[in-house]
Chains A and B, each alone.
Chain A
């Protein structure tokens, strides 16, 4: 299994809703990432988990809350989002966080906040 899966593919939510994005990989990777990508822009790193511990938080607002229940799963909990948070949310994984570690990206969740 050489892929990263993400659910849901699309999500529409109101500003008062609580929702979660899910990401899964079975490649034995120990590093997992959340990125946010706006149209015509590069992915922007949000969080890095290494061995199930949060190692990098790129000053992301607290309305985004990551969780890594085990080495194969990564969640992103969303609460009280703003319309400007509408974007493609990408999950990625890699063997580790040092040196050359090719990051495999999932297909993304396209989020629309109304």
Chain B
């Protein structure tokens, strides 16, 4: 089967750093993506890792360890607008995106 595990909820305060972990078990693997989705909105692409290591894009960074089937999304200098759902997703052959169940991030003042 195909499965991705990520925490269901994370709470943090403004200005803090938060890490959302994702472990996966899939048939085939091209890479790990992260998407952000605000309530009532569409998923927005944040990052993609195909190789081991850290990718940094502004306040967001994403990490992948293929040998451990593990990745994480790191959000720094949290802002209220970062309150949203965050999905990890594995790209498998055929172009399919397999999504995790999502992590609801609540940023408090």
A interface with B by C-beta (< 8 Å): 31, 33, 40-45, 48, 50, 55-56, 90, 94, 96-108
Instruction: Point out the residue from A42, A48, A56 that lies within 8 Å of B102, measured CB to CB.
Output: A42
Q: In whole angstroms, what is the CA distance A101 to B94 when docked?
A: 11
Range class of the B interface residue count:
20 to 34
Instruction: Contact check, B48 vs A90: say whether CB atoms are below 8 A apart.
Output: no
Q: List B54-109 residues whose CB lies under 8 Å from chain A.
A: 87, 89, 91, 93-97, 99-102
Instruction: Contact check, A41 vs B94: say whether CB atoms are below 8 A apart.
Output: no
Instruction: Contact check, A94 vs B95: say whether CB atoms are below 8 A apart.
Output: yes
Majority SS of interface residues in chain A? loop
Give chain A residues whose Cβ lies under 8 Å from the Cβ of B91.
Answer: 99-101
The chain A residue with its CB closest to the CB of B4 is: A42
B44 within 8 A of A: yes
Additional A-B contacts beyond A50-B95, A100-B91 (7; CB < 8 A):
A42-B89, A42-B102, A48-B95, A102-B48, A103-B45, A105-B42, A106-B42
Instruction: Contact check, B50 vs A43: say whether CB atoms are below 8 A apart.
Output: no
Q: In whole angstroms, what is the CA distance A97 to B95 when docked?
A: 4
Known: A100-B30, A100-B48. A105 touches B95 (CB 8 A): no
Known: A42-B99, A100-B50. A48 touches B42 (CB 8 A): no
The chain A residue with its CB closest to the CB of B42 is: A105
A43, A50, A55, A98 pick with most chain B CB within 10 angstroms:
A43
Q: In whole angstroms, what is the CA distance A102 to B49 when docked?
A: 11
Give chain A residues whose Cβ lies under 8 Å from the Cβ of B100.
Answer: 42
Known: A102-B45, A102-B48. A96 touches B33 (CB 8 A): no
